[in-house]
Amino acid sequence: MAMTDLVASRAAYLHEAAHMLAVSSPAASAFLGLARNRLIEDTELEVPAKEWDALRRETCGACGSMFVPGWSCKISSVPKSHQKGTKRKSKATDLDAFTNMVYQCLKCHRTTKQALQPQLRRHMKRSESNVAKQLPIISKSSNEEAPKVPKTANASSKQRQKSRKGGLQAMLEKNKTQNSKPGLDLMDFMM
């Protein structure tokens, strides 16, 4: 266990050093990045999938140079239809159209393909019981008023903004009326 911790800390050190030298000395940064890749491969260090994907996004697997888009690498997305060489039969959403990101190292011209994670669409659905709880039941036979719901509880953002603005204006008017009370002021005693 101690050996894997030692290797992991050494790999982390090489990674940080490569990042520090990426702009000032790209060749030294590439050497350190390649040394980190070789260290991980030689010791068969188990790297979590998420961390491995991040490593593949930031360093070239062949030469070890840091990927800086537009400077040391070119990034493009490959549509699904180009990958399989066939036309799409079903209508897919725009999110499904791009499935792979392709990173091309401008130093050694190696391409690295990485699959994009599909984005889950979140839909907000109201259940019927929640709608029934929110609406007050008003009976025609009773003359009592239903409990009043505060204006801001179900108001839209524009309505809340208007009420806030109205509240501020009312406070300013109140302040003006307090300041304009007839009475003696310090200036009344000055000659």
How far apart CA 20 and CA 72 sit, in angstroms, is: 15
Strands 98-105 and 73-79: antiparallel
What's the length of the chain?
Answer: 191
Q: Which two tokens stand for residue 5?
A: 């911790």
The answer, yes or no, to whether residue 164 has pLDDT greater than 70, is yes
What is the Cα 30 distance to its own chain's centre?
29
Closest C-alpha to 51, from 7, 12, 20: 12
Render pLDDT for 39-88 as a digit per residue (tens, 0 to 9).
888 888 887 777 887 888 888 888 888 888 888 888 888 776 655 555 55
* C-alpha span between 56 and 111 (Å, rounded): 11
Alpha helix segments (H runs only) across 73-156: 80-84, 94-97, 128-134
Q: Give this prediction's pTM.
A: 0.48
Most confident of 101-110, 118-127, 165-174, 176-185: 101-110
